Amino acid sequence: MKLTDTAQLADLHARIDAACQRLEINGAQGLPDPAEWAILPRHDDDRALFEELCFHMFAAGFSRDVVRQKWPATRSAFADFDIAELAAWDGARLTPLLTDRALIRNRRKIESVVHNAGVVQALAAEHGSFKAWLGSYPAGQLHLLHKEIARRFASVGPSAGEWFLLTAGFAYYFRTDHAQRLLQRLGLLPARVRPEDFNAVMEAVHQAGGASRWAVSAQMFRFASGFHLREGICQESPRCPKCPLWDYCDHFNQAPAAD
């Protein structure tokens, strides 16, 4: 299979999508749309983007539902995430928050809100706004933005940064070992994969088939992992005879045996 063959790429995703629908467990919920994981419905300004970033920072390693329940109190405690105000806070302003049972009482994350407000303020001073800095990375380089977010912002690891980009509406691909393994078996990725390689393949599939970027990411993950399916097809031990992609596959390049 070649990355330049748009007809094959469109057919590839159509087969994966059909297989996921056929194998879906009755009543099971698929992967949620990223918008369902956001704390805000819109991200029109720096304050909203900063709040979304902080939400995913707090949610990392915790129950997302618990963090969501505590979020009205969290928003109030942190001055509605007013960036200029938070950037000026000192340690004395944070001390009462560390014992407030209405909040997630994690010292490192609480202190990181203030630190990160300063980071956003500095980026806005240099680029005009935090939103402008985020938007300065084109779709094909969002893996670099993801890396920069993790480097610049305290307590924002790869998972939190990834969910921030997804929920804030950026064309970021949900990268998993499962999807990467599938694409390697199809000959679309090399053995040693760079983030830009993965993004390029996913973008090509998105452009060829017209499915949303999230749908492309989610269905490849489900197909390869078996998430909420009766069985996974392209798991670590693949079920090649049942795979609808066998004729595209470098891993199994002969017709499957009949069931």
**What is the set of domains in the chain, with CATH numbers?**
6-33+173-248 (1.10.1670), 39-167 (1.10.340.30)
DSSP 229: B
Helix (H, G, I), strand (E, B) or coil at 138: coil
Choice between 155 and 166, residue whose per-residue pLDDT is larger: 155
Full-model pTM: 0.83
- pLDDT confidence of residue 259: 45
Mean confidence (pLDDT) of the chain: 91
Mean pLDDT score, 30-53: 90
- Cα 105 off chain centre by: 25
Beta bridge partners of 229: 24
Mean pLDDT score, 86-96: 96
Give 101-133 pLDDT, tens digit per residue: 999 999 999 999 999 999 999 999 999 999 999
pLDDT higher than 80, residue 31: no
- pLDDT confidence of residue 30: 63
- pLDDT confidence of residue 49: 98
Give 142-158 pLDDT, tens digit per residue: 889 999 999 999 999 98
75-107: burial string, b at 16+ Cβ within 10 Å, e else: eebbeebebeebbebeeeebeebeeeeebbeee
Mean pLDDT score, 227-235: 88
Choice between 114 and 200, residue whose per-residue pLDDT is larger: 114
